[in-house]
Chains A and B, each alone.
Chain A
Amino acid sequence: MMDMMLQVLAPELLILIAAMTLLVGDTFWGHRYKALTFQLTLVSIALTALVILASFSTTSVQLFNGAFIRDGVADVLKLSMLFMTFFAFLFARDYLVQRNIERGEYYVLGLLSLLGMMVLASSYDMVTLFMGLEIMSLALYAMIAMQKDSGFAIESAMKYFVLGAMATGLLLYGMTLVYGNVGSLQLATIYQTLATTEESLVLSLGLVFILVGLAFKFGAAPFHNWVPDVYHGSPTGITLFLSSAPKIAAFALMFRLLIEGLEAALMQWQSILIILAILSLVVGNVIAIAQTNLKRMLAYSTISHMGFILLGFLTGNVGGYAAAMFYVVIYALMSLGGFAVIVALSRKGFEADNIADLAGLGKRNPVLALTMLVIVLSMAGIPPFVGFYAKLVVLTEVVEAGLTWLAVFAVVMSVIGAYYYLRVIKVMYFDQPAEENAHNADFANASLRYGLILVATLVLMLGILPDGLLTLFNDVMMY
C-alpha cells in the first residue's frame, strides 16, 4: 500500500522535496554559488518529468479516499506544465538577474506554484481542487510583487491578488452550494448523483457562481479586465511563466470541475459557455487591434485563445475536451515563445515591450525575427503551423456538435485577429528601426537562443505532424 502510494504521488513529492531543500539550502549556498539554486530547480523539474514518463498512467488510480487521482489526463497535463515551467525558468533567468528579482525564494515560489498546478491536475474532490488552486495563485501573486522597485509590478500584483481572491471566493461559494445540494465533495459522487436526480435551482445557482469563478481564472470575457493589466505590469520574465503553465492548470480546474463533476448539468452550463466564448472572441480579437504595447496585445490574444478553449468545452463530448486540451497546451507553448522574444530583446533598464521596438528585427537579428514570425503566424492560425491545427480540431468538434454558426463566427473573428498578428510581422520585416535600437539585437545568452529555436521548431513540427500528440490526448481522455 505504502509503496503504491509513494509511486503514485512521486511527482508531487519530488517537487515538494525540491522546494523545501532549496528553501533551506539557498540560505547556505546562496551567496557563494549564485547559479546553484537555479540549476537544481531545472534538474528537479526534469527529474520529475522523467519520473512521470517512466510511470505513465494507462489506468486511473485514486488515493486518499478519492481526493487524489492519477490518470492519463493528469499525467499529460503535468508533463506539459513541467515542460512550460522548465523553459519559463530557463528563459527568464538573465532578465530577472538584471532586475534583481532572481533570488532563491523566486525558485521556491515557482516550484510551489508548480506543485499547486500539479495538485489541480490530479484533484478529484472539491477541497483538493481548491487547495491546489490557492497554492498556485498565492505563489504567483508573490512572484509578481518580487520586483519591489517597480510600481507597475506592485500594482499588477495587487490587482491580480484582489481580483483573484474575489474569483476564488465566488468559486468557493458555488462549491458550497453544490455540496449543499449533492451532499458530497467528491467529483465522482457528484457526477453520479446529478446523473440520477432532476435539476434543481440550488444547483443552478451554485453552477453560476462556479462558472463566474472559472471564467475569472481563465481570463474569459466579460471577466477578462485583469489580464492585460497583469500581463503588462508584471516583469516580462514572470509574465512568461504566468501566461503558460497556469493556463494549463486553469484547463485542469475546468475539466475536473465541469466535466468530471458537473457534466450532467451540461444543458445548463453549455449556453453560459457559448456566451463567454463569443464575448472572449470578440473582445480578444477586436481590442487587440488597438494595442501598441506588445505585452498587452499578447494579453488580448490570450483572451481570444481562451474563447477557443471554451468552444472545445461546450461541445460536451470527449473529442471536444481532447481538442480543448490540445489547444491549451499549444497555446501555452506559443505564449511561452512570444514572451520569450520580448525577454530576449530587453536588457537592463530597457523593456522591448512596444510593437515599435521590433522594427527592423528582420535585419538586426534574423534568427530571432524568424522565431517570432513562426510563433505569430501560428497564433494567427495560419498553416502549416500548429496553431492552425489546434483551431481546426476545435472547430471540427464544434461543427460536429451541431453548432455550425458558432464555428463560422469563430473563423470570422480569427480573420479579424489575423490583422494584428500580421502587423507584428510587417513591423519586424519592413519598418526601419528607431535610432537607439539600431545596434542591439544580439541574444543575451545561448540558452535563450537555442530554447527559442526549439520552441519554434516544435511549433512547426507539431503543425506538420500533429497526429501523434492528438491521438495521445484523445486516448487519455477515453481512459
Chain B
Amino acid sequence: MGVEKFLFYVFVLIAVFASLGVIGSRNPVRSALFLVLAFVATAGVWLLLQAEFLGIVLILVYVGAVMVLFLFVIMMLDINLTPLKEGFARYLPIGIVVALVVLAEMAMVLNPTFFGLQNFPSPVALAVTDSNTKMLGQLLFTEYLFAFELAAVLLLLSIVAAIVLTLRRRHQSEALYQDVGVQVRVQASDRLTMVKMAPTVKANAPEQGAE
C-alpha cells in the first residue's frame, strides 16, 4: 500500500503542477507541452486505478496523436497572444471572487459526507490475471454492441460532415488549378505543332534606312 500511495501522490503532484503550467506559461508551445505532462501523469493515476487500458490509450491517442497535431497547429498559426491577455489585471479581482465562490460551492457538495467511502464503497481489486483490454473488448462486443455500432455511424457521419464542409470543388477558371488526369493523358500532338519548312529560308533583306 505504501508504494502505491507514494506513487499516487507523485503523479497527482505532477498533474497539478503541469495543469498550472498549462494556464500559467506565456508561450503556447510550452502550455501544450505542459498539457502532455498532465496527460502522462493522469495516465499514471489511471494505471494505479487498475485501468491500464485507458492509461495506455490516453498516452497513445492524446499524447501521441492529438497533442502532436495540436502542437503543429500552434506552430503553424503563430497566434499573437497579447490581445488575448489584455485586461488580465483588470478582470483579475472578479475572476478570483468567482473562482472562490465556485470552489466553495464545489467543496460544499463534493466532500466526503456525500461522496465518501461509506456512500460509495471502493470496488474490489482485480486479480493480477484479469486483463482490462480483454474485459473491455468482451463488454464492447456483447453488452454494448449496439452503442458500439452507433459509434461507427457517428464516426462515418463526422467524416462525411468534415469533407462536406471543407471540400471545395475548384473550377477550371480558378488559378492554381491542376487536373492531374488531364496532365497525364496529354499527348504530344496536343502540345506540339509540326510545321513543314524548307531547309533553308532566304532571309529577307533588311530595309535600308534613310542614311
Contact = CB atoms under 8 A, between A and B. Distances in A.
A142 B161 contact: yes
B119 interface: yes
Contacts of A148: 165, 168
Interface in B111-161: 114-115, 119-120, 142-147, 150-151, 153-154, 156-158, 160-161
Given A131-B147, A200-B114, A201-B114, A139 B164 contact: no
The 7 closest A-B pairs by CB, nearest first: A142-B161, A131-B150, A64-B146, A127-B147, A105-B164, A201-B114, A67-B146
Contacts of A108: 160
A68 interface: yes
B157 A112 contact: yes
A401 interface: no
Nearest to B144: A127
Contact of B150 (A132, A141, A201): A132
Given A202-B114, A202-B119, A131 B164 contact: no
Contact of A109 (B115, B120, B154, B157): B157
B119 A200 contact: yes
A138 B157 contact: yes
Contacts of B120: 180
A103 B163 CA distance: 13
B161 A138 contact: yes
Given A64-B145, A67-B143, 10 more contacts: A65-B142, A103-B164, A109-B157, A112-B153, A119-B150, A127-B147, A131-B151, A135-B150, A142-B165, A202-B115
B195 interface: no
B151 A109 contact: no
B154 A131 contact: yes
A456 B153 CA distance: 36
21 contacts: A23-B160, A64-B146, A65-B142, A67-B143, A103-B164, A109-B160, A112-B160, A127-B144, A127-B147, A128-B146, A128-B147, A128-B150, A131-B147, A135-B150, A138-B158, A139-B157, A142-B164, A142-B165, A146-B164, A200-B114, A200-B119
B109 interface: yes
A35 interface: no
Main DSSP-derived SS at the B contact region? helix
A115 interface: yes
Contacts of A53: none
A340 interface: no
Given A131-B151, A200-B119, A205-B109, A139 B146 contact: no
A145 interface: yes
A461 interface: no
A109 B164 contact: yes
Nearest to B142: A65
A67 B144 contact: yes
A63 to B, nearest CB: 7
Interface of A: 16, 23, 63-65, 67-68, 103, 105, 108-109, 112, 115, 119, 127-128, 131-132, 134-135, 138-139, 141-142, 145-146, 148, 180, 200-202, 205
B193 to A, nearest CB: 33
B117 to A, nearest CB: 13
A135 B157 contact: yes
A65 B143 CA distance: 6
A2 to B, nearest CB: 14
A145 B165 contact: yes
B114 A63 contact: no
Contact of A146 (B109, B115, B165): B165
A50 to B, nearest CB: 23
Nearest to B113: A201
Contacts of A109: 157, 160-161, 164
A63 B144 CA distance: 11
Contacts of B150: 119, 128, 131-132, 135
Nearest to B146: A64
A365 B163 CA distance: 41
Contact of A135 (B109, B114, B154): B154
A141 B154 contact: no
Nearest to B147: A127
Nearest to A67: B146
A112 B161 CA distance: 11
A26 to B, nearest CB: 11
A429 B166 CA distance: 45
A47 B128 CA distance: 53
A139 B165 CA distance: 11
Nearest to A113: B157
Contacts of A127: 144, 147
B19 to A, nearest CB: 19
A127 B151 CA distance: 10
Nearest to A66: B143
Contacts of A205: 109
A141 B153 contact: no
Q: Which of A63, A115, A201 has the most CB of B within 10 A?
A: A201
